[in-house]
Amino acid sequence: MRKLYFSLILLLASLPLSLVAQAPSLAIQVDHPTAKVSPMLYGLMTEEINYSYDGGIYAEMVRNRMMTDDWSGVHYWYLVEQGNAECKMSIDHSGGPSKELTRGLKIEIAKADARNQAGVLNEGWWGMALRPSTTYKGSFWAKADSAAMGPLTVTLVSNNSGKVVASTTVNGLTAEWKQFNYALTTGVIEPSADNHLKITVGHAGTLWLELVSLFPPTYHDRPNGNRMDLMEKLAAMHPKFLRFPGGNYLEGNHIAERFNWKQTVGPMVSRPTHIGPWGYHSSDGMGLQEFLNWCEDLQMEPVLAVYAGYSLSQEHVNPGPDLEPYVQDALDEIEYVTGGLDTKWGKVRAENGHPEPFKLTYVEIGNEDNFDKSKSYEGRYEQFYKAIKAKYPALQLIATMPIKNMRPDVVDDHYYVRRQQFFADQTHYDKTDRTGPKIFVGEWATREGAPTPNFGSALGDAAWMTGLERNSDIVVMAAYAPLLVNVNPGGMQWETDLIGYDTLTSYGSPSYWAQVLFGSYLGTEVVPATLTNAGPRVFTSVTRDEKQRKLFVKVVNASSDEAALNIALNGVATMKRDATLITLSGKTPNATNSITHPDAVVPVEHKIAVTGPNFKQSFAPYSINVLKLSY
Ligand code: AHR
């Protein structure tokens, strides 16, 4: 037996090295960083899709405050006829509170008294979320045919119990359009979305309403602000930029339906509102200034996408004189964002409450112009480029497709794929020409799972992100898309969205948590790392922060087996013993989170002891890991 054992050892020793299976290993050359990590690598891409703003992050609780209608009636508004009260409603197009809002909801009350009130209710965005002891602030524009109409009663009512949750009265109706403010405070209630807003009177006559609005407390307490839970989730991703306003939403289906930024600034009553390309009307409450406030609140830089003369139904503007007004709009928009108080549009920004200019590095010219069959983009890009560079030479101008005749500063690449494609393509930018334009991966996602991605998607995403990190000298920015989805019935137009929510609550998908991990644990320099014998579905990227002496080792194990790696940290003399392993894992690629099970897949943090620069570490099957080490 002993003889046989020794013969086996001799046999193994005589085999060529390549035939002996080596243990899986990860060799990291800590002291030789190869590139700087882009300081703006991870950010957010956003647009009005899936009720992302209206019915989403924009905290307005009233649905259809701008009173649109069709043959079926006034959307989301219903008559209230208490007791023997009688009334009817219609949209009056003969005039509204401003030259931009030229209509109003007309309520003709044939019969009503103090006990038998008449009026309207708004059902909200799949209800209205109410919480205990909270003040909701609202406003509306109104007029009446007679002051005898008396006060308006404004109430929040529970759909199912019929109980009045909060109530107030508003006095002072006149025959002229006037804006009124009101506040409603709840008492001891259970948080619920099953509520509506009711506006009634106790007198016959005619009443007009427009721009009826109601807000809960918002993130950073901003008037006309954002939903707190969603902003907190975004903050946890540590995003460095916000690409807005789209996406297709920038372009619109038709030129007249583009995101016309000048119609989205100033008081709500001067915003005409517009139809978006995703099948619903936008309130434009999320206008240019609100996007910038959002950036400020999360300490992100705007990545400003300007309309570039192409809309989705193959409408385009020819380069040359026809395009000039659009180029001027873009220049004005940049001036609004960055201009001093001595500029026309900088002054308008100050009037809108923000005297300080915003930092702006990147401007994107259009969106996905490779779909423009007229092939006019090269000319359009060049015209925008020359005009913007002449006035703002420091701005980096992003092209939405490669340009033949000139070298754009940055090109925006988009990817929507299955997980295996990202596994295979995670080396995509390893060989990209470093003398060419920089890359902005402006939209990307693994699309598996609906409404939000499952864990298989998160694995594809994480594998892809290892490639983005390793190449973040050339990939200057990247953003998952779409970001948000309202999971109520009819809320989604595009499957596989990062964060889901209903009226009351929200949750992060497994892909969201992968973003949180990659955004939270990112060094300032790329460190070379070599995986050997780890199999085809293990991926890695390593960054370090030399100032903090921290090393972030990301290991994505997309295989169904554990990955036990011999890790060698070359070029470091001493290691701190205490390390942290943060793991996001799923039992199967189909494991997922949902509005009812928001925390099925969440990261788990463990302290581990590292014995020295050479150690062994196991990574669970189907897992995304960050190993945080101090050296
Ligand atoms: O992210 C959804 C859509 O995908 C974007 O609006 C568009 O740019 C892309 O085609």
How do residues 248-275 score in pLDDT, each as one tens digit?
A: 999 999 999 999 999 999 999 999 999 9
How do residues 306-356 score in pLDDT, each as one tens digit?
A: 999 999 999 999 999 999 999 999 999 999 999 999 999 999 999 999 999
Residue 3 has pLDDT above 70, yes or no: no
Measured between alpha carbons, how far is 78 from 64 in angstroms, rounded to an integer?
12
**Percent of the chain at pLDDT exceeding 70:** 97
Measured between alpha carbons, how far is 567 from 613 in angstroms, rounded to an integer?
8
Distance in Å, CA 250 to ligand 1 centroid: 10
What mean pLDDT comes out for the span 174-179?
A: 97
The residue whose CA has the least distance to atom 9 of ligand 1 is 247
DSSP classification of residue 82? -
How do residues 546-603 score in pLDDT, each as one tens digit?
A: 999 999 999 999 999 999 999 999 999 888 889 999 999 999 999 999 999 999 999 9
Which domains, from first to last, does the chain contain?
A: 22-35+524-630 (2.60.40.1180), 42-60+220-520 (3.20.20.80), 69-215 (2.60.120.260)
What mean pLDDT comes out for the span 178-196?
A: 98
Tokens of 321: 């004189």
- What is the per-residue pLDDT for 575? 83
Residues framing ligand 1 (Cβ under 6 A): 47, 49, 246-248, 367-368, 443, 481-482, 494
Of 452, 584, 454, the residue nearest 513 (C-alpha): 584
How do residues 600-614 score in pLDDT, each as one tens digit?
A: 999 999 999 998 999
Token pair 């830089």 is found at 301
- What is the per-residue pLDDT for 248? 98
Distance in Å, CA 288 to ligand 1 centroid: 20
Residue 6, helix vs strand vs coil: helix
C-alpha distances in angstroms, 419 versus 67, 188, 336, 446, 469? 43, 47, 41, 6, 18
Distance in Å, CA 79 to ligand 1 centroid: 38
Measured between alpha carbons, how far is 564 from 29 in angstroms, rounded to an integer?
19
Q: Judge if the upstream peptide bond of residue 451 is cis by omega within 30 degrees of 0.
A: yes
Measured between alpha carbons, how far is 45 from 444 in angstroms, rounded to an integer?
9
Give the HSE-up count for residue 339: Cα atoms under 13 Å, Cβ half-sphere.
18
Report the nearest atom of ligand 1 relative to the CA of 277.
Answer: 6
Residue 369 has pLDDT above 70, yes or no: yes
Report the nearest atom of ligand 1 relative to the CA of 443.
Answer: 1
Are 274 and 211 spatial neighbours (Cβ–Cβ below 8 Å)? no
Distance in Å, CA 300 to ligand 1 centroid: 21
Of 472, 477, 484, the residue nearest 286 (C-alpha): 484
Residue 131 has pLDDT above 70, yes or no: yes
- What is the per-residue pLDDT for 574? 83
- What is the per-residue pLDDT for 21? 62
Distance in Å, CA 247 to ligand 1 centroid: 5
Query: What's the mean per-residue pLDDT of the chain?
Result: 96
Are 550 and 629 spatial neighbours (Cβ–Cβ below 8 Å)? yes
DSSP classification of residue 58? B
Distance in Å, CA 368 to ligand 1 centroid: 8
Q: What is the pTM of this model?
A: 0.96
Report the nearest atom of ligand 1 relative to the CA of 367.
Answer: 8
Report the nearest atom of ligand 1 relative to the CA of 414.
Answer: 9
Q: Give CA angle at 361 (359, 362), nearest 5°.
A: 130
**Beta-strand relationship, 438-446 and 475-480:** parallel
DSSP symbols for 479-494: EES--EEE-STT--SS
Of 209, 314, 244, 310, the residue nearest 58 (C-alpha): 244
What mean pLDDT comes out for the span 177-198?
A: 98
- What is the per-residue pLDDT for 147? 84
How do residues 19-75 score in pLDDT, each as one tens digit?
A: 446 899 999 999 999 999 999 999 999 999 999 999 999 999 999 999 999 999 999
Are 112 and 148 spatial neighbours (Cβ–Cβ below 8 Å)? no
- What is the per-residue pLDDT for 483? 98
Report the nearest atom of ligand 1 relative to the CA of 481.
Answer: 1
Measured between alpha carbons, how far is 605 from 99 in angstroms, rounded to an integer?
57
- What is the per-residue pLDDT for 10? 41
Residue 9 has pLDDT above 90, yes or no: no
Give the HSE-up count for residue 241: Cα atoms under 13 Å, Cβ half-sphere.
27
Residue 401 has pLDDT above 80, yes or no: yes
- What is the per-residue pLDDT for 559? 98
How do residues 382-397 score in pLDDT, each as one tens digit?
A: 999 999 999 999 999 9
Of 504, 470, 496, 468, the residue nearest 596 (C-alpha): 504
**Percent of the chain at pLDDT exceeding 90:** 94
- Element (DSSP H or E) covering residue 315: strand 315-316
